[in-house]
Structure 1
Amino acid sequence: MDGPLSAERDPRDDRVVCHVDMDCFYAACERLREPALRGEPLVVGMGYEPNEDIGAVATASYEAREYGVGSAMPISEALERLPRKVDAARDDDLDVAEAGFYRPVDMGFYKEVSAEVRAAVEAAVAEADPDGTVRNVSIDESYLDVSAVGWDAAESFAAALRERIEREAGVTASVGVAPNMSTAKVASDYDKPDGLVVVRPDEVRDFLAPLPVGELHGVGPVTADRLAELGIETAGDLAAADPAALADAFGSRGRAVHRHARGVDDREVTPVGKPKSLSSEKALSTTDDGTTKRELVAGLAAEVAERARSKGALYKTIGVKVVRPPFDINTRARSLSGPVDDPDLVEEVALDLLSEFADDRVRKLGVRVSNLDFADAEQASLAGWEDPEGDVEAGDRPPRRAAGPRSTTSTGDRRGYVAAGAKRGMNKLAPAGDGRWRLAPHAHLIVYEAEDGGELLTVYDCGAAQAPPRAQVVGHLVRVDAAHERERSPTGYVVKLREDADLVRQDGEGPDHYVVRARE
């Protein structure tokens, strides 16, 4: 293995980067809602219906994983390994002690809990490092740059952050701390669940060296297998390899993973785009005192309005969050006729929405402005701010559809749709030699939203149906002679391939994903 990169101090070593990764997030949310599920094997299924065997595993708790249940596994296969408790209780051939619980995905609730986590993270960063940044990369994962904290206080900051997340959101997180993003991500996964691993600048190479190469950020299963064929099995092996040879074999990705293996990653922790909303929340000792609640909401409203003004953001929706003990999250919102910048109006609307909970005991309150507009537009008339349709309550919104392919790219007549962007192992697709796949004539792709913010892609045997609610999972992929299209269905989006298109695996610096590409 090579020696130190330089005898001089590297200024990049001053950076303190944290990677916050929630532990089995979907399962943790279900346990938050049903405390009796804690410690029990729990499977959360995408497209799953109670007492049925359709769908795919979105998350398996650590207890369920001991039975061989894993992400993207068909529910039917998961049930063979881990029967439902209710079924085991009725079948003398099954052991209730060797059975588990199954729940369908409830993305709306998970996003509410995720917002609690993000609020805790952003507050902690603002208090510790006013110049710090947060990059939320998925529903359960964030990067933080808190360089002002310094290395002497980095571990205590991360420990306090974990405690704050659990106290305010009720779920646990694993945190990795390192001088750069890729090493911090590896560190957060090193001691899951509920782990804290700090890798100081002078420890990075020694920390990474013995790890299997597949643990490195940006190395998917296919790349790991190809590296193994070259005799490269650990991060240390990869760090010592010839970067030119890696570039010849893997292109630019080869150089990127070589840098990561050596603990080199110059990427900055930058927020993803402009915020869609701004909010402020505060926990308090459980109370039903009306004055206390109104004073807190008034203060939060002023804080949020000032933040929006400082960012040059107008807002069209004003809302409140009310958390009743233990974790009963309620949201209310009201839309205006147009975007405004009006702190008094934020307070007025927030207090009016709060009045619904005047007699309730609460443990946390929050105020949010959303539907932000950063353009230089004229402010809407205050005389017309009332929403003609009235207040919008969380329970009154139409059901949220499952996410379809997230982005498109085009170059000439080529067009690609992201078909999956999930964590390693979040899908059942296997490469077919050249990294391309095709669908059988009777198969379709169903795309769901995955836990990490990408999509979970499952292959279904659809027969002649376009959007079957109860299709069976199949495991083979060959060509489909049909136009590429997306249709809404009860189980997600049905994706078919164009006659001249294939599925192509994309191994990048982020999670593995699959793209529909026009054939060369």
Structure 2
Amino acid sequence: MAGGTLPGTDADDDAGSDRVVFHVDMDCFYASCERLRRPEMAGEPLVVGMGYEAGETIGAVATASYEARAFGVESAMPISEALELLPRRANADPDDPDAPDPDEAGRYLPVDLDYYKEVAGDVKAVLRDCADVLREVSVDEAYLDVTDRTAWDAAGDSADLPPSAAAGPAETRTLAEGYARHVKQRIEREAGVPASVGVAPNMSTAKVASDADKPDGLVVVPPGEVEPFLASLPTAEIHGVGPVTERTLAEMGIETAGDLAAADPDRLGEELGDRGRELYRRARGEDDREVTPTGLPKSLSRESSLSATADEDRKRETVRALAADVARRARERGCLYRTIGIKAVEPPYEVNTRARSLPGPVDDPDLVESVALDLLDEFAGDRVRKLGVRVSKLDFAESDQATLGGFDAGDGPGDGSDGAADRPRRSDGRTTATDGNGGKLTDWVDGEPTAEGDAPGADAERRTGDGQASLGDWE
């Protein structure tokens, strides 16, 4: 690699210092999604509510934009309380002296989880392409182990080291910083939403780093700088410290991560059990956990953004390339697939999916291309701004492939066709996409993220960090 070891950094400074871990945290994700399809709301205070209907006062805040937080609105706050702090923009009337000031009012929108899953799928497609090991924690958060993609080497000749352009303790620009910036830019370009990224030699420090410079931030904590970076932070910033633990530590005279790192681990164990000893290690920058996937994927997909176009040759060329790539990835992972689908996004952001189910699991790149192109024909003449190809209902077990005799476009339901003739149709005459079992195909997002490794009963300790309330599993 170009450059060399960072000045002042020894190989043994931090356990596992070769590792490069990213923590990617989407900023106010639901609000960012709403602004993606409503650009006119950029810069306005925006509240997205769960259990909330437009114009009502019931429900709770799922997420509040940074502009809304400036008025004191927080996640999980009742909508009625949020409205007292930030009146609804629709009620602002410059001609009514009793109406709220338009400059001190905000927008309120209900949660649209299906739409957020679509955007999350775009983000996850980027992350999967940028990392060999990905752990999805929630709809808007993931860890990436990119050790095999980049390094802590200085980005430049050691005689003339460029300064770091990231926030945080890094003084010299590293290859890891450059790669993190590449990931951020791809998310912004291909998914249209901002992300904050923390870069560190381990998971817990990367998590703290991503929270340290929001929104749209980048914090790099190289080996040798982990413990100094953490030392001055309040204990609440350490990954795994919730309100209850924070109070317990304060009663022990422990206010900062530096205090926690200097505390007696045996006493911490007496007060907090194994959790206390683990927090002691994290405060010292010691975290040898590996980034592990949350489970086998439910599907594999690849997407490509385009300048809005109705050019059929370009659309078909794009789908061919995407189909080849998806089939290659499935073969590399040793998995078969039972469903082939496409995704077509029409301007400004109308997401459409189509899928066809097979009689059994297969590994057939030519079939992926053929079916994807057939499905694309439904969008003949339409302008699209993004196309995608997906294989799903994956089978990672060793098994014989089903015979595809009878898989012809003219066959009817039950004999291997997609049953288009029996599907409900949209008002424009197109068929509604199904998953092959009569249900609508709405799960373009692969996998169901789960909370990361918390002990039973730890929900009371969980913080949202970015001010976004959890809506549970996607499905």
Structure-2-length-normalised TM-score: 0.81
Rounded Cα–Cα distance in structure 2 between residues aligned with 1:91 and 1:71: 31
Contact residue 208 and residue 235 of structure 1 kept, 8 A: yes
Change (3 A) 1:218 1:179: same
Residues 30-69 of structure 1 deviation map (CA, whole Å, 9 limit, x = unaligned): 0001111110000000010011111110000000001111
Aligned to 1:310: 332
Aligned to 1:477: none
Contact residue 140 and residue 452 of structure 1 kept, 8 A: no
Aligned to 2:135: 135
Higher strand share: 1
Aligned to 2:426: none
Aligned amino acid, residue 348 of structure 1 = S
Aligned amino acid, residue 397 of structure 1 = K
Aligned amino acid, residue 423 of structure 1 = R
- 1:160: how far off? 1.4
Change (3 A) 1:81 1:455: farther
- 1:116: how far off? 0.6
Aligned to 1:516: none
Aligned amino acid, residue 225 of structure 1 = R
Which of 264, 267, 290 is the equivalent residue of 1:245? 267
Aligned to 1:235: 257
Rounded Cα–Cα distance in structure 2 between residues aligned with 1:117 and 1:398: 19
**Residue 397, structure 1, aligned to residue 440, structure 2:** yes
Rounded Cα–Cα distance in structure 2 between residues aligned with 1:77 and 1:181: 36
**Residue 343, structure 1, aligned to residue 365, structure 2:** yes
Rounded Cα–Cα distance in structure 2 between residues aligned with 1:184 and 1:233: 21
- 1:159: how far off? 1.1
Aligned amino acid, residue 314 of structure 1 = L
Which of 305, 314, 322 is the equivalent residue of 1:292? 314
Matches within 5 A, 1:118-267: 118-125=124-131, 132-148=132-148, 149-151=150-152, 152=154, 153-267=175-289
Contact residue 337 and residue 387 of structure 1 kept, 8 A: no
Change (3 A) 1:451 1:397: farther
Change (3 A) 1:65 1:161: same
| SS of the residue 2:92 aligns to | helix
Residues 141-181 of structure 1 deviation map (CA, whole Å, 9 limit, x = unaligned): 11111113111301111111111110111100001100000
Rounded Cα–Cα distance in structure 2 between residues aligned with 1:330 and 1:341: 25
Which of 121, 129, 136 is the equivalent residue of 1:115? 121
Contact residue 423 and residue 452 of structure 1 kept, 8 A: no
Aligned to 1:56: 60
Aligned amino acid, residue 433 of structure 2 = E
Contact residue 15 and residue 286 of structure 2 kept, 8 A: no
| SS of the residue 1:226 aligns to | helix
Q: Could you list the runs of 5+ residues in structure 1 that have no partner in the other structure?
A: 126-131, 408-415, 428-449, 457-491, 493-520
Aligned to 1:513: none
Which of 23, 30, 35 is the equivalent residue of 1:26? 30
Aligned amino acid, residue 33 of structure 2 = C
Change (3 A) 1:71 1:21: same
- 1:306: how far off? 2.2
Change (3 A) 1:6 1:109: same
Aligned to 2:40: 36
**Stretch deviating more after TM superposition (293-302 or 251-260):** 293-302
Contact residue 114 and residue 139 of structure 1 kept, 8 A: yes
- 1:321: how far off? 1.6
Contact residue 277 and residue 369 of structure 1 kept, 8 A: yes
Rounded Cα–Cα distance in structure 1 between residues aligned with 2:457 and 2:392: 29
Aligned to 1:468: none
Rounded Cα–Cα distance in structure 2 between residues aligned with 1:417 and 1:385: 47
Contact residue 67 and residue 82 of structure 1 kept, 8 A: yes
- 1:83: how far off? 1.1
Rounded Cα–Cα distance in structure 2 between residues aligned with 1:99 and 1:88: 7
| SS of the residue 1:63 aligns to | helix
Contact residue 421 and residue 454 of structure 1 kept, 8 A: no
- 1:364: how far off? 2.4
Change (3 A) 1:419 1:179: closer
| SS of the residue 1:200 aligns to | coil
Change (3 A) 1:177 1:366: same
- 1:202: how far off? 1.0
The total of aligned residue pairs comes to: 414
Change (3 A) 1:141 1:276: same
- 1:81: how far off? 1.0
**Residue 268, structure 1, aligned to residue 290, structure 2:** yes
Q: Could you list the runs of 5+ residues in structure 2 that have no partner in the other structure?
A: 1-7, 155-174, 407-414, 424-430
Aligned to 1:423: 463
Q: Which has the higher contact order (CA 8 A, sep 6+)?
A: 2
Structure-1-length-normalised TM-score: 0.74
Rounded Cα–Cα distance in structure 2 between residues aligned with 1:347 and 1:7: 48
Change (3 A) 1:140 1:315: same
Contact residue 235 and residue 261 of structure 1 kept, 8 A: yes
Aligned to 1:514: none
Change (3 A) 1:58 1:294: same
Change (3 A) 1:451 1:372: farther
Contact residue 214 and residue 224 of structure 1 kept, 8 A: yes
Rounded Cα–Cα distance in structure 2 between residues aligned with 1:424 and 1:79: 21
- 1:267: how far off? 0.7
Percent same amino acid at aligned positions? 61
Contact residue 317 and residue 334 of structure 1 kept, 8 A: yes
